[in-house]
Amino acid sequence: MELNIAMDKQELLNEELQKSRKAKKFNLYLGMIGMFMMFAAFSSGFIVYTNSGVDKGIKTILPYVFIYSTAAIVISSLTMYLAFKAVKNNDLGKQKIFLIATILLGVVFFFLQLEAWSVLFSREITFTNTNASQSFIYVFTGFHLAHIIAGILVLTRCLIGAMKNIPLGNNIFRMEIASIFWHFLGLLWIYIYVFLLLNQ
Amino acid sequence: MSTTVISHDAAHHDDHGHHHETFLTKYIFSQDHKMIAKQFLITGIIMAVFAMVLSILFRIQLAWPDKEFPILEVFLGKWAEGGRIKPDFFLSLVTIHGTMMVFFVLTAGLSGTFSNLLIPYQLGARDMASPLMNMLSYWFFFVACVIMVASFFIESGPASAGWTIYPPLSAVPTAIAGSGLGMTLWLVSMTLFIASQVLGGVNYISTVLNMRTKGMELWKMPLTIWSFFLTAIVGLLSFPVLVSAVVLLFFDRSVGTSFYLSDLVVGGTILPNEGGSPILFQHLFWFLGHPEVYIVVMPALGLTSEVISTNARKPIFGYHAMVYSLVGITVLSFIVWGHHMFVTGMSPFLGGVFMITTLIIAVPSAVKAFNYIATLWRGNIRFTPAMMFAIGMVSFFVSGGLTGLYLGNATLDINLHDTYFVVAHFHLVMGSASIFGMLSGVYHWYPKMFGRMMDERLGYFHFWLTFIGAYLVFFPMHFMGIDGVPRRYYAFTEFPFMEKWVSVNLLVTWAAIVSAVGQVAFLWNFFASIWCGKRAPQNPWKSNTLEWTTPVEHIHGNWPGEIPSVYRWPYDYSKPGHDEDFIPQTVPHSQTMSSNLLHDWEGNEEGIAAQKAYNREHDREIEG
């Protein structure tokens, strides 16, 4: 009898936990909608501004480095996927390796973006610019990078959790949240890149 | 849409609840939705009083432009040297009055209070989806308020570019006194405010979709919840856009970019910023700014629906139409922002498009107005103070909404733009209507919040003073606007054509002062009743919704036992055949055979068969 009550309690706790996790995941999706709206606003601002005169517009070929950074973030999404798959199979060793790979690729992406900025600088396309369409390139990439930093922090937290051997359920949930966010950042970058390419 | 079942009982809930409540966790950093609602409300009331005092100050200037009031110098120092308010400070007054009223009172004070109070209560949830985010939402808001008020205590004064902070006044720190540190503080405050709204909004949406009790389908939700839910969606989609606008503004102010600035000369020096477009800011701002006015008015509409239906003892007229009109307003709110910009040199074709979308909003708005009136029609009306304010809300919504048809018209707007006609329009339709919706909510749900009743006589006194006062203040402004008197002007004595309006300003200012003093009745009633009010019964208004099934004393988790299940919609008032004039949502249809219609069983064959048998037995001839 007592065992039964204990099991019931466990079940209820589990149900409660699942519910709160579901709500947290849902909050993340809502947050992503908010983030996307911010970039959508930058995009529409860019369009309105660029159409305000013939001397506006990107007026340059986007740095070639962006292709490498795109490759880096796409591969990082792949490694993130593998890391998540590994943890679901309870293969923590593999999880850590792929997680570290993802973080490293994130850092690589970060520096490639900075490299792209220095290419733009060498062409005398600066942030303070009388053609604000060019300033917008920095706004897009800069705000995306700010999110990448947040993403790397989230991934690092996952890695610390994996190192500390937190309970598997928590580990999987952390990884799930992180991978949703990380894939979102990848997609966001592809959106930004395509948007800029179409307008260059 | 599936319904999530919440089946745990309170005993279990207590097991993992953190019950070592200290003063700090109970009253200050509370994560309980009821306490957070009260925090939002009281902060909102304080901000409202502050913003109201600002409005009285500039009304004094408008009524007596040539008179000196030495007392002003005592309080305002160099901003009112010789007892006359300075032009710079006048601009600050209108700016901060607008900002505080729109964002702090009618957005956070209204949505924050009632979404927090009613979403868990009326849906049958123990608390919000994320109580922590909820607490953060309040504290971001609180800090935003403190920073905004603090801008009155700096040398150069608060921001003064208008609540819409158009560049270049907002983007060039050297433009006017208020463009300096005051503007920076405004931007910091608003950034925190946006964070608060997004945190709150995400939580409201998530709670409505994930935490409803058993049987609470979307179509059984009270209209209050529908309005909070849709308001939160509007906020989630529009506030991030304001972030973008503000970020670019920050770059223009502090980094030297030229998103919004071009061809400017300040104090004889040419600014380096070149090629920017101030119109860009207006697009980004109004993409938030217009949805914002619906963020302000929709919760008021929801509260009014509930109060009117309860106190007319009648089902709300056209429940589905009410929901669809809210959905319609939500969708349309995003495609009308251009009507604020008809005179910016916008292409007439684009202006025409915005005009059509704008005028279409009259349809869902009119549906709501007619439905309120149809609900009142032949109702068994109880004129409680809450009901008075709800009816007042409908009155303002109609009289202010009608002038929207004029302003939404691109050609008429050329004449009316930036005149007192606009001031009259939005103060009636969104200012007065929303504040009345909010006050109606306060009077109605006060027993739920504090366990005591407010004094009715003071309530009526407060209502009549405010209602008549608001019309006396805002109605004459229509005529000034038609005559072309521009808003935000410092003195009416400088232009011969405006001088004749000084006498009207005198009337308006006296009306404003009297109704402002009338608010003392409310403040006294509100704060004194917390301790001295009559003790409230569990369901003082004989209402159907779930919050009245909770005990008067607040407890953690809201319901002592299991969360009640819901069997019917919330508006079964005066249902023919039932012995009482209300049937709470928790009463199953099997207990109300004498009043059921066949369609109440929603296709449940067993129920329909039982009902038919019952009807035959009791000679009931009712079409279902």
Q: Give the SS3 label for residue B266.
A: strand
At residue B545, the pLDDT reads 96
Say if residue A4's pLDDT is above 80. Answer: no
Q: How far is A160 from chain B (nearest CA, A)?
A: 23
Q: How many CB atoms lie within 10 A of CB B616?
A: 10
CB contact under 8 A, B258 and A129: yes
Taking contacts as CB-CB distances below 8 angstroms, the residues of chain B near A20 are: 129
Residue A139 has pLDDT above 50, yes or no: yes
- Which residues 122-161 of A are in CB contact (within 8 Å) with B? 127-132, 135, 139, 143
Q: Return the DSSP state at B601.
A: G
pLDDT attached to residue B531: 95
Residue given tokens 């160099």 in the structure block: B78
For residue A59, how far is the Cα from the chain centroid? 28
In chain A, pLDDT over 70 holds for what percent of residues? 96
Is the distance from CB of B463 to CB of B521 less than 8 angstroms? no
Specify the DSSP class assigned to residue B6: -
CA-wise closest residue to B182 among B195, B165, B168: B165
d(CA B30, CA B13): 18
Is B597 within a domain? no
Q: Of B226, B236, B354, B370, nearest to B298 (Cα)? A: B226
Question: Domain span at residue B149?
Answer: 31-261+269-532
Q: What is the pLDDT of residue B197?
A: 95
Where residue B495 sits, what CATH number does that domain have? Answer: 1.20.210.10
Q: Is B198 part of a structural domain of the chain? A: yes
Residue-averaged pLDDT of chain A? 91
* ipTM of the complex model: 0.90
Answer yes or no: do B239 and A34 touch at CB < 8 A.
Answer: yes
Phi-psi region of B557 (alpha: psi -120 to 50; beta: other; left: phi over 0): left
- CB-nearest to B210 from A22, A33, A132 is A22
Predicted pLDDT at B268:
86
Q: Is B284 on the interface with A (CB under 8 A)?
A: yes
Residues A110-120 have a mean pLDDT of 95
Comparing A116 with A54, the larger pLDDT belongs to A116
Element (H, E) at B73: helix B70-76
Is the torsion defined by CA of B446, B449, B453, B458 positive or negative?
negative
Please state the domain count of chain B.
Answer: 1
> In Å, what is the CA distance from A66 to each residue of A132, A134, B561, B567?
20, 15, 59, 58
pLDDT attached to residue B460: 97
pLDDT score at A14: 80
Q: Which regions in chain B score pLDDT beneath 50?
A: 1-18, 624
pLDDT at B381: 96
**Cβ atoms of B443 and B391 closer than 8 Å:** no
Are B240 and B138 spatial neighbours (Cβ–Cβ below 8 Å)?
A: no
pLDDT, residue B13, reads 44
Please give, rounded to a whole number of angstroms, the shortest distance from the CA of A41 to a CA of chain B: 5
Buried b (16+ CB within 10 A) or exposed e, B3-22: eeebebebeebeeeeeeeee
Pick from B202, B244, B283: which is nearest to A42 by CB? Answer: B244
Which residues are bridge partners to B486 per DSSP?
Answer: B419
Closest CA to B241 of A41, A139, A30: A41
Architecture in CATH of A32-199: Up-down Bundle (1.20)
Q: Which two tokens stand for residue B173?
A: 């720190």
Quote the tokens at residue B224: 């209050």
B573 DSSP assignment = B
pLDDT tens digits for range B562-604:
899 999 999 999 999 999 999 999 999 999 999 999 889 988 9
Q: Please list every residue in chain A whose beta carbon sits closer than 8 Å to the beta carbon of residue B12.
A: 9, 12
* Nearest-by-Cβ selection for A37 from B203, B241, B274: B241
B138 CB-near residues (< 8 Å, 6+ apart): B36, B39, B40, B43, B112, B196
Beta strands, E only, B300-458: none
State whether residue B269 is helix, strand or coil. Answer: strand
If 0-12 CB within 10 Å is exposed, 13-18 middle and 19+ buried, where does residue A85 land? middle
Chain position carrying tokens 């770059």 = B251
Handedness of CA B41, B536, B211, B439 (dihedral sign): negative
pLDDT exceeds 70 at position A5: no
Q: How many CB pairs under 8 A join A and B?
A: 115
Give residue A19's pLDDT band: very low, low, confident or very high (50, 70, 90): confident
* Dist. CA B130–CA B207, nearest whole Å: 8
How close is the nearest chain A Cα to the Cα of B339, in Å? 17
Domain ranges of chain A: 32-199
Give me the pLDDT at residue B20, please: 66
| pTM of the predicted model as reported, rounded to 2 decimal places | 0.92
Instruction: Give the model's pLDDT for residue B12.
Output: 43
Confirm whether B196 is domain-assigned: yes
Cα distances from B364 to residues A146, B97, B120, B330, B358, in angstroms, run 41, 30, 28, 10, 11
**Is the CB of A169 inside 8 Å of chain B's CB atoms?**
no
Closest CA to B486 of B581, B575, B415: B415
Residues paired with A126 in a beta bridge: none
CA–CA distances in Å: residue B571 to residues A24, A150, B289, B382, B614: 33, 47, 34, 16, 24
Answer yes or no: is pLDDT of A65 > 60.
yes
Residue A130 to residue B238, Cβ atoms within 8 A? no
With tokens 């303070």, the residue in question is A128
- Give the pLDDT confidence score for residue B477 in this predicted structure: 96
Of B205, B245, B258, the CB nearest to A30: B205
- Helices and strands: H and E segment counts in chain B: 21, 2
Distance CA B275, CA B261 (A): 7
Min Cα–Cα distance to chain A from B9, Å: 9
A59 and chain B: CB distance < 8 Å anywhere?
no
Q: How far apart are CA B205 and CA B111, in angstroms?
A: 12
**B543 domain residue, yes or no:** no
The tokens for A192 are: 């930004």
